[in-house]
Amino acid sequence: MDDHRNLLDRMPSPPSVPPRVSVLSKIIATALPIAQIAIGSLYRNDCPVQPYIPIYLIVSGVFVLVLDLVSCVPQGQEGEEGATVCHNLIKTLNSLASLFLFIWFITGNVWIYSIYEPSYDAGSLVTKYCNKTLYLFAFWSTTVVYIIVGVMLLGGCCLMVCMCALGGAGLRSEDV
């Protein structure tokens, strides 16, 4: 049993991501926040039923872009002088911005889902009106977050089941 290793020790380390793929993924990841800022700004006064929805989009877009920019800042190597201070500052900023975004996301959920489905006809009741492009963009960009989290949780659960099954199979074959 001395040479028994758990499943995680036997797994190869993941391959490193090529720089081109990393840059491309950053560019794609900035598309949604830029769209949030643009749509929130364009339709800033076009949702009287919930005037905070455009503000929610603008603030979310700005904070996600800030997080993207902070993730691109070189933090230095572990042994370099000043690298620890820079690293700690970036980690603190990242943590604070992430916490704010989480709270802001929950707040945006309340604003968006509480008025589902608003009137898209500007000539009808003005107090129930919200621009269709603005509302549907906010609705679906928020809903997609839940879809992504759900897919990741499902994938993680499937991965854990597979790891347990493979780990159990590996233990049985070693015991024989």
Tell me how far apart the alpha carbons of residues 69 and 35 are, in angstroms, rounded to a whole number: 17
Position 131 in a domain:
yes
Position 42 in a domain:
yes
List, for residues 126-164, the tens digit of each pLDDT value.
678 999 999 999 999 999 999 999 999 999 999 999 888
Position 13 in a domain:
yes
Position 120 in a domain:
yes
Position 1 in a domain:
no
Beta bridge partner(s), residue 129: 119
Q: Which residues, in sequence order, are CB contacts of 71 under 8 Å at separation 6+?
A: 26, 94
Position 139 in a domain:
yes
Position 18 in a domain:
yes
List, for residues 110-119, the tens digit of each pLDDT value.
999 999 999 9
Position 2 in a domain:
no
Q: Which residues, in sequence order, are CB contacts of 50 under 8 Å at separation 6+?
A: 111, 112, 114, 115, 118, 130
Question: Whole domain around residue 59: which residue ranges?
Answer: 7-175
Phi/psi at 43 (nearest 5 deg)? -110, 30
List, for residues 57-85, the tens digit of each pLDDT value.
999 999 999 888 887 777 665 556 656 78
Number of domains in the chain: 1
